[in-house]
Amino acid sequence: MSANPVEDIKAESNFLRGTIRQGLADGATGSLADDDTQLTKFHGIYQQDDRDVREQRRRQMLEPEHSFMIRARVPGGICTPAQWLALDNIATRWANGSLRLTTRQAFQFHGVLKHELKDSIRAINDSLLDTIAACGDVNRNVMCTALPERSDVHAQVFADAAAFSDHLTPNTTAYHEIWLDKEKVAATADHEPIYGNRYLPRKFKTAFAVPPVNDVDVLAHDLGFIAIEDKDGLVGYTVTVGGGMGVTHGDPATYPLLARPLGFIIPDQVVEVGEAIVRIQRDFGDRSERKHARFKYTIEDRGLDWLRGELKQRLGYALEPARPYHFTSRGDEYGWRQTDDGNWHLALFIQNGRIADGPSGTQLSGLRAISQVHKGEFRLTANQNVIIAGISAAKKPEINKLVREHGLDAHEKLSRLRLHSMACVALPTCSLAMAEAERYLPELVSEIEIQTENHGLAQEDINIRMTGCPNGCARPYLAEIGLVGKAPGRYNLHLGAAHNGTRLNYLARENANSGEILALLNELFARFRKQRETSETFGDFLTRSQAEITEGVLSHA
Amino acid sequence: MLSALGADNSPFNEEQLRLLKRSIGTLNQSQSQWLSGYLAGRLGDAAALTGVEALGTGPALTILYGSDTGNGELMAQELSGQFEQAGITARLESLDHFRPAGLKKLERAVFIISTHGEGDPPEEAVELFEYLSSERAARLTTLSYRVLALGDRSYEHFCASGRELDERLQVLGARPFGARVECDVDYETDAGNWSSEVIAHVKEHWAEGSQPAVATRLSLVPSKPRWTRHEPFQAEILKVQKITGADSGKDICHLELSLEGSGLDYHPGDALGVWAPNDPDTVDEILDSLVLAGATMVEVDDSRISLSEALGDYRELTRLSVETIEAYARTGGQAELGELFQAFDPEQRREFIEQRQFVDLVQEFPSEIEAQALVDILRPLAPRSYSVSSSRTLVDEEVHLTVATLYSDATGRQRSGVASQFLNHRIGVGGLVRLFHDPNRRFHLPEDPTSPIVMIAAGTGIAPFRAFMQELESTGASRQSWLIFGNPHLRTDFLYQRDWLRWRETGLLDRIDTAWSRDGADKQYVQHLISDQTERLERWLQRGAHIYICGGLAMGRAVQDAIQQATAAQGGISFEEAESALTELRRSKRIHKDLY
Ligand code: SRM
Ligand SMILES: Cc1cc2nc3c(=O)[nH]c(=O)nc-3n(C[C@H](O)[C@H](O)[C@H](O)COP(=O)(O)OP(=O)(O)OC[C@H]3O[C@@H](n4cnc5c(N)ncnc54)[C@H](O)[C@@H]3O)c2cc1C
Ligand SMILES: Cc1cc2nc3c(=O)[nH]c(=O)nc-3n(C[C@H](O)[C@H](O)[C@H](O)COP(=O)(O)O)c2cc1C
Ligand code: SF4
């Protein structure tokens, strides 16, 4: 038996089968067997329960209100209008009536009951998307900059991202047997040439970025490919490794890290080099302690030079030195834009990625209506937003009309602060949440807006992110204002990341309630206004004043 | 009385008497009462009565009763007690233990029989009824008998089994010594009169043959159960907890009541009778609609009380009956209602009744009716039964109930059932509920501690099975057990889900099969599970399993059909042929039903 039980579960699961099938047939509970809930993650399915009603249900002698979150994998975040319609149907028919865009350009459904799982998964597959490896200890949904200024570069980078994603999709046929009722071909034993029967020690994340836009937060990834262009177009990628956000409160052995450049490759090397890196993490990642199993710790423990050496041994050659890159922004450019191919694109702000019909608009219905007439594609962004991409000039008015009718034009009215805000899902579905995030950030932003308004900072692009726990799903350690949940109503306040995502923030205040957070921010906005240097961003200012903030008067504000 | 006891006129020796006198002498009234109840429970009525019979040379009369919810049993015991008092030996026997072929040896008998299901005899009398209408039934020309039929006029087939029994006996040549009496839910007066007539008849014609019983020898052990319908125990509510999920279509509550000091000893499978007063708002609504003053004095059972009290505590307002509707139309001068109702066929009548409460009737068909007339046309309020969902060995001096609030809104206004609404929403923690023990011996766990049990339930039918499992858990018993349960949704309607999952996890429960009728596209009910599980069911039956079915009548019927179907399928025989297998199960008391 390994030190880490998940390793045993994987090894004994017969390539991710476990007893999921039996569990689905058990009508006495809405849950699956504990061990199987580890396995379903590899199938893109998380068992959750509505934490709002846990206590009430305990008193009612009912089990927790189990349901499942399904994550549909959308490589590079691109899907067709037909796929959108299919997903919309799943959201309204089986899930909780909402579609959730994630920080990794994917869709999530919440609240799917066990007996509806198979139908939902089948419907996703019928739409030619899938959920396999959307979660689990494998290479996850591969991200790709949503909309670079130049469409030809995007097409090439996207193709590389998709090829890499395909190459690293697990081979097991368990998924098809369990969810799609495909017969197992008895003779063909399952084989995972890249992963092996225990798969990776931990999740593995890859992103492709096209400078100057760093919307994907490429440096937060285990593996990054930053497009390098010359005057003729894409020449290759600077490969970065060892980024990651996840932290455990009170455990100093866990910390966020930014990825570092490893070398330069040409586009044809993406799959070969990427696979080799994944295999190295497979062989050297820490399988005894899950908290220490991410690639970032493997590299921390052994050094970048070790990695270069190991890679050279496996590839038979060394990588060229990394080439410089320059990022200017991470946020999405909302509204209409035209690319060099003449097409129009409309980037819409979706607060915290939650698309639903509600008092502030009928976004779910609106996007459904748009996907019924739209001929181009949808691009999900790493900021939980969506771009309606590839609209011909002729179609533009029709789409614009629907956008207005359904209140999808919020970006025209909202503050810069809100448009640069992001929160993870947290309560009530996330089992790891310690505090609210998605349900609370909008409210907190409203209060901060009053302050930025008062200090004349309303036009400032200040980036704020909140998560319900230190796992960092909204990449809060890369926010100018990062709020990391610690307990109900209590957050660790992190300040001062670079606006373009190339510098982490620092912990400024622990366990603060909203009153304390607001008081401190108010003071900081006042100082920023007085003391800022020309074109200095709020994040840069906060880092410049770090000593004052953490030790000085401010720590008692 | 105690001092008069001696070794010569009691079954005790001198030493026992000394101890008895010493300890009994110190008891206050309630302690004595408790002790008498305790002894009664310990000995059981049968033991006490065998004593009487042993003294005589043969009974003057045999009292046979077929009772499901205990009313008839109580009447039979009271009658037997009265004979005892009168010094006449009467033999008391439940039809549960009675061999129908023994009928032809009987010369003098009375039958107390209730009607259940949809005009069916009580479970324990099924065999007798089958016998009486079969080919092999013997001629009963020497039998002189009389029938007391218990029933409820709100049902379509009022006292159907009493009537059927009476008719069959006559067909077979038996002679009634008096007319059959049919009692409604307020059976006490009519049944009491019937009893007096029976005693008078026996005294006059048949008593010489039997010797006086020495009643005093048994007076220490009253044969009557202590808390009765008429002397209910006041139990305090300790907890009311809704146990269906937030957005369930059903409102089902778990109730915990204190039995402290009552000595009321129930068994899993038993029920409690609960008295529930009407909702004061409903009473007010009726008074308003009929423009009557609540303070008007009226006569109810020989005492004068206010009209609001009479309606609130003594009259049935939520369940209509044909009689009440007809009487209201007549007395209230409601010709329109009278004509309408007259024109209905039985199906329409039933629907009309099920969809309305009295308050709806007076609002739809207003009339001028006087206070006393109103009280006279309404039927007396009857207690409701609820299966206990706890085991005393586990919960000690508590009893748990599982109550579904009954709603109807056919007339556009939501109305709820009186007792279920009272328990779930009106009374609240700390309130007192009048209740009494309503035993159901035929629904107890098998005596053989190794017999497997199959528990089939829908909705609140799961209540007695929770009691079973608690009993198994707290007595450390290990018998195989299998739950088959159905309700609309898994997420909200698996009653006591945590308990069931725990029992399955610890291995106390071997298997759970569920039918969630609204969760899938195809409506699955418990009977479908039986059809899916015929082989397993057959295996369990071969191992001697007992089958328990609890819940609604329709479910009970469908499940029995499914079992019969399963037996047919397993044995490669026709559905009709499989009936005998089912009858055999019933004969060997391995199929137990608690349907309502
Ligand atoms: C939906 C999403 C947040 C959002 O609001 O959009 C999300 C939601 C969850 N994340 Fe995440 N993570 C999401 C992006 C991230 C990111 C951002 C990124 O990848 O760019 C991170 C930080 C980067 C990283 O991995 O280092 C992230 C780091 C984690 C971690 C911490 C991993 C670690 O190394 O410590 C966990 C916990 C774990 O894996 O044990 C986690 C776990 C979870 C789970 C599945 C909770 C669980 O394990 O039970 C959350 C589901 C909540 C729910 O109810 O939906 N999530 N998660 C994002 C889905 C991305 C996707 O489509 O795949
Ligand atoms: C042995 C036994 C055990 C039982 N165990 C349980 C138990 O564990 N849990 C439980 O919840 N219940 C149980 N019941 C049922 C229970 O006794 C009551 O019948 C039920 O709670 C309804 O009573 P009520 O006073 O609330 O409704 P009532 O006041 O009796 O009913 C009123 C409503 O029912 C409608 N109605 C009137 N007549 C009829 C009719 N003939 N058919 C259908 N509807 C009609 C009317 O519209 C009216 O609104 C059991 C019954 C028996 C006999
Ligand atoms: C589930 C159920 C069904 C009943 N069906 C009828 C019926 O069809 N006809 C009738 O007259 N009484 C019916 N009754 C009323 C009973 O006969 C009545 O309550 C009687 O007093 C019960 O006597 P027992 O306790 O001795 O069985 C029914 C009672 C119950 C609980
Ligand atoms: S950051 Fe924590 S609370 Fe938020 S979704 Fe991720 S795991 Fe859940």
* Contacts with A419 (C-beta within 8 Å, 6 or more apart), sequence order: A331, A334, A349, A411
Q: Report yes or no: B246 at the A interface, CB cutoff 8 Å.
A: yes
Helices (H), B300-386: 307-309, 322-331, 335-343, 346-354, 358-364, 371-377
Specify the residue for token string 């450390």: B476
Q: Is B137 left (phi over 0), alpha (psi -120 to 50) or beta?
A: beta
**Which of A69, A79, A103 best tests ligand 1's pocket when mutated (most atoms within 8 Å of CB)?**
A103
pTM: 0.83
B386 CB near ligand 3 (under 6 Å): no
Q: Report yes or no: A554 at the B interface, CB cutoff 8 Å.
A: no
Tokens of A168: 């690293």
Ligand found nearest the CA of B389: 2
**pLDDT at res. B47:** 39
**pLDDT at res. A30:** 97
A434 CB near ligand 1 (under 6 Å): no
A117 pLDDT band, cuts 50/70/90, is very high
Distance B14 CA to ligand 1 centre (A): 84
List the residue whose alpha carbon is closest to atom 10 of ligand 2. Answer: B403
DSSP state of A244: B
**pLDDT at res. B54:** 34
* Contacts with B542 (C-beta within 8 Å, 6 or more apart), sequence order: none
For the cut 90, the answer to whether the pLDDT of residue A354 exceeds it is yes
DSSP state of B296: -
**pLDDT at res. B477:** 82
**Residue contact B491–A65, C-beta within 8 A:** yes
**Residue contact A62–B254, C-beta within 8 A:** no
Query: Which chain B residues contact residue A27 at CB under 8 A?
Result: 490, 512-516
B184 CB near ligand 3 (under 6 Å): no
In three state form, how does the secondary structure of B8-64 look? CCCCCCHHHHHHHHHHHHCCCHHHHHHHHHHHHHHHHHHHHHHHHHHHCCCCCEEEE
A195 pLDDT band, cuts 50/70/90, is very high
Helices (H), A383-513: 396-405, 416-419, 441-454
Contact A129, A165 (CB under 8 A): no
Share of chain A above pLDDT 90, in %: 83
pLDDT tens across A207-264, in order? 999 999 999 999 999 999 999 999 889 999 999 999 999 999 889 999 999 999 999 9
Average pLDDT rounded to a whole number, residues B353-363: 93
Q: Taking all residues of chain B, what is their mean pLDDT, rounded to a whole number? A: 88
Q: Report the amino acid identity of residue B216.
A: T
Q: Report yes or no: B491 at the A interface, CB cutoff 8 Å.
A: yes
Known active-site residue A79: no
Contact A490, A512 (CB under 8 A): yes
Tell me the C-alpha distance between B394 and B382, whole Å: 31
Q: Which of A58, A62, A113 lies at the smallest CB-CB distance from B494?
A: A62
Known active-site residue A41: no
List the residue whose alpha carbon is closest to atom 29 of ligand 2. Answer: B417
Tokens of A395: 């179609």
Average pLDDT rounded to a whole number, residues A270-276: 97
DSSP state of B122: P
For the cut 80, the answer to whether the pLDDT of residue B49 exceeds it is no
A425 CB near ligand 1 (under 6 Å): yes
Contact A428, A51 (CB under 8 A): yes
pLDDT tens across A355-371, in order? 999 988 899 999 999 99
For the cut 70, the answer to whether the pLDDT of residue B280 exceeds it is yes
Q: Is A325 left (phi over 0), alpha (psi -120 to 50) or beta?
A: beta
For the cut 80, the answer to whether the pLDDT of residue B27 exceeds it is no
Residues counted in chain A = 557
Least Cα distance to B148 among B173, B177, B174 occurs for B177
Tokens of A535: 């074109």
B257 forms beta bridges with B237, B399
**pLDDT at res. A250:** 87
Least Cα distance to A321 among A242, A241, A278, A265 occurs for A265
Distance A90 CA to ligand 4 centre (A): 24
Residue ranges around ligand 4 (CB below 6 Å): A 424-426, 430, 432-433, 437, 467-469, 471-473
**Which of A473, A475, A504 best tests ligand 1's pocket when mutated (most atoms within 8 Å of CB)?**
A473
pLDDT tens across A435-475, in order? 999 999 999 999 999 999 999 999 899 999 999 999 999 99
A112 forms beta bridges with A68
Q: Which of A30, A63, A65 lies at the smallest CB-CB distance from B498?
A: A63
Least Cα distance to A38 among A114, A108, A117, A135 occurs for A135
Closest residue of chain A to B239, computed from CA coordinates: A59
Looking at A296, A469, A475, A486, which residue is catalytic? A469
Q: Taking all residues of chain A, what is their mean pLDDT, rounded to a whole number? A: 93
Query: Which chain B residues contact residue A114 at CB under 8 A?
Result: 490
Q: Is B430 left (phi over 0), alpha (psi -120 to 50) or beta?
A: left
Least Cα distance to A476 among A279, A213, A256, A155 occurs for A256
Tell me the C-alpha distance between A334 and A346, whole Å: 7
A549 pLDDT band, cuts 50/70/90, is confident
Q: DSSP readout, B490-502? A: HHHH-TTHHHHHH
Looking at A114, A473, A475, A490, which residue is catalytic? A473
For the cut 90, the answer to whether the pLDDT of residue B150 exceeds it is yes
Known active-site residue A144: no
Tell me the C-alpha distance between A66 and A89, whole Å: 21
**pLDDT at res. B10:** 63
Contact B391, B398 (CB under 8 A): no
Tell me the C-alpha distance between B406 and B419, whole Å: 9
Contact B70, B41 (CB under 8 A): no
Average pLDDT rounded to a whole number, residues B331-354: 92
Known active-site residue A135: no
Angle at A404 between CA A400 and CA A408, to 5 degrees: 100
B223 pLDDT band, cuts 50/70/90, is very low
Contact A296, A323 (CB under 8 A): no
A71 CB near ligand 1 (under 6 Å): yes
Tell me the C-alpha distance between B306 and B310, whole Å: 6
* Contacts with A25 (C-beta within 8 Å, 6 or more apart), sequence order: none
A186 pLDDT band, cuts 50/70/90, is low
Q: Is A358 left (phi over 0), alpha (psi -120 to 50) or beta?
A: beta
Specify the residue for token string 């609210």: A436
B29 pLDDT band, cuts 50/70/90, is low
**pLDDT at res. A385:** 97
Tell me the C-alpha distance between B355 and B410, whole Å: 5
Contact A345, A311 (CB under 8 A): no
Ligand found nearest the CA of A484: 4
**pLDDT at res. B221:** 40
Tell me the C-alpha distance between B532 and B66, whole Å: 35
Query: Which chain A residues contact residue B513 at CB under 8 A?
Result: 27
**pLDDT at res. A185:** 63
**pLDDT at res. A107:** 96
List the residue whose alpha carbon is closest to atom 31 of ligand 3. Answer: B596
* Contacts with B519 (C-beta within 8 Å, 6 or more apart), sequence order: A113, A115, B488, B489, B490
The more confidently predicted of residues B378 and B104 is B378
CA dihedral A312, A318, A321, A323 (to 10 degrees): -90
Contact A105, A382 (CB under 8 A): yes
Rounded to two decimals, the ipTM of the complex is 0.88
Known active-site residue A473: yes
pLDDT tens across A126-167, in order? 998 889 888 889 999 999 999 877 778 989 999 999 999 999
pLDDT tens across A55-107, in order? 999 999 999 999 999 999 998 899 999 999 999 999 999 999 999 999 999 99
Share of chain B above pLDDT 70, in %: 87
Query: Which chain A residues contact residue B498 at CB under 8 A?
Result: 58, 61-63
Sheet with A386-391, edge to edge strand ranges? A78-79, A377-380, A386-391, A344-348, A335-338
Tokens of B514: 């569920």
Is A462 in a helix, a strand, or coil?
coil
B461 CB near ligand 3 (under 6 Å): no
Dmax of chain B from CA atoms? 77
Least Cα distance to A429 among A70, A91, A26, A32 occurs for A70
Give the closest-approach CA distance of B525 to chain A in angstroms. Answer: 13
**pLDDT at res. B526:** 96
**pLDDT at res. A360:** 80
Between the alpha carbon of residue B476 and those of residues A219, B270, B422, B467, B479, the distances in Å are: 61, 21, 36, 14, 10
Q: Report yes or no: B216 at the A interface, CB cutoff 8 Å.
A: no
Query: Which chain B residues contact residue A53 at CB under 8 A?
Result: 245-246
Q: DSSP readout, B236-277? A: EEEEEEE-S-TT-S--EEEEEEE-TTT-----TT-EEEEE-P
Tell me the C-alpha distance between A60 and B492, whole Å: 10
Contact A285, A293 (CB under 8 A): yes
DSSP state of B575: H
Give the closest-approach CA distance of A312 to chain B in angstroms. Answer: 53
Looking at A17, A41, A71, A509, which residue is catalytic? A71
Q: Report yes or no: B532 at the A interface, CB cutoff 8 Å.
A: no
A122 pLDDT band, cuts 50/70/90, is very high
Distance of CA A126 to the CA centre of its chain: 24
Known active-site residue A424: yes
Tell me the C-alpha distance between A229 and B285, whole Å: 84
For the cut 60, the answer to whether the pLDDT of residue A331 exceeds it is yes
Ligand found nearest the CA of B163: 3
List the residue whose alpha carbon is closest to atom 43 of ligand 1. Answer: A473
**Residue contact A62–B245, C-beta within 8 A:** yes
Q: How many CB pairs under 8 A join A and B?
A: 57
For the cut 80, the answer to whether the pLDDT of residue A171 exceeds it is yes
Q: Report yes or no: A57 at the B interface, CB cutoff 8 Å.
A: yes
pLDDT tens across A360-412, in order? 889 999 999 999 999 999 999 999 999 999 999 999 999 999 999 999 998 99
A347 forms beta bridges with A335, A387
DSSP state of A50: -
**pLDDT at res. B41:** 47
B579 burial via Cβ count (<10 Å: 0-12, 13-18, 19+): middle
